[in-house]
Amino acid sequence: MQSPRRNAEGRPLGTCDPSSSGSPAHGGGSRFEFQSLLSSRVPGADPISARLRASESPVHRRGSFPLAGAGSPQTLPPQLPEEDRIDLNPSFLGIALRSLLAIDLWLSKKLGVCAGESSSWGSMRPLMKLLEISGHGIPWLLGTLYCLSRSDSWAGREVLMNLLFALLLDLLLVSLIKGLVRRRRPAHNQMDMFFTVSVDKYSFPSGHTTRAALVSRFILNHLVLAIPLRVLVVLWAFILGLSRVMLGRHNVTDVAFGFFLGYMQYSIVDYCWLSPHTAPVLFLLWNQP
């Protein structure tokens, strides 16, 4: 025999509650107990309680299931800064420049065989440093000024005056480009150069290479030399430029642009050639009785 169903207070359903105001015949107490039983078994029957539980759910907290009556707007995820984004469509020019830079750094490091005493050709480092001094600007400036003061012919003074102008123009242009580009010297370089200034901490372009290309072209055009001597002048300029990479002073592109800049500097000097007719005041300063 089945036991009668009981309500939440433990009384059998269908029995009369003495404290209830309804009559058992009309079932008022039974309806009240049945409604109490439904409200206790179905906790979501109250709409206010259901709304509170929905607001506390993890789906709603994440913002993926907002309530229809919510007044606050849905917040968007923060945007990443421009430098943290990945460019998925780089330009062809950018790829070419990055590839050229990578090849330049790799080749410069491979050719830096005299960068230190422990390098593969470290024993030749003193000879390379002596070659470095032969292309320095100070010996060339002092030598040109000395020869200009000792010259006793107008033709010699004219050539030396223009050589001095070329050397000063080279120092000015190289310093200006180095200050604008500000490319650091290779990481394997040792800063033990002879008489450096503030812009010498930068690498692009190679001042020794521009000077070698300028002076060699100047000598070949204004001095009468035998063929062996002309070949030696060209070899000196080429080996001096190569030594800059072997010593670890410059990258390959620094030297290549240095040759180009030195070649073009002579064209400027030749176009602005100084003579007693174009610049008589300068030649009067060196006039001797």
Left, alpha or beta for 63 (phi > 0: left; psi -120 to 50: alpha)?
Answer: left
Q: How many residues does the chain have?
A: 289
pLDDT of residue 155: 86
Task: Tell me what pLDDT residue 59 has.
Answer: 47
DSSP 50-114: HHHHHHTSHHHHTTSS--TT--SPPPPPPPPPGGGS--SS--HHHHHHHHHHHHHHHHHHHH-TT
Give this prediction's pTM. Answer: 0.66
* pLDDT number for residue 244: 93
* pLDDT score for 146: 92
pLDDT at 53: 53
pLDDT per residue as tens, the chain (289 positions)? 444 555 544 555 554 444 444 444 444 455 545 455 455 554 444 555 555 455 555 544 444 444 444 455 556 656 655 545 555 556 888 888 889 899 989 999 998 888 888 888 888 898 999 999 999 999 999 999 999 888 888 888 889 999 999 999 999 999 999 999 999 999 888 888 877 777 888 999 999 999 999 999 999 999 888 999 999 999 999 999 999 999 999 999 999 999 999 999 999 999 999 888 887 777 776 665 4
Catalytic residues: 208, 250
Which CA distances in Å does 265 have to 60, 162, 224, 272, 274? Answer: 73, 12, 21, 11, 15
Query: Using an 8 Å Cβ cutoff, are 248 and 190 in contact?
Result: yes
Neighbouring residues of 25: CB distance < 8 A, sequence distance ≥ 6: none
CA contacts within 13 A on the Cβ side of 148: 21
**In the prediction, which pLDDT does 233 show?**
95
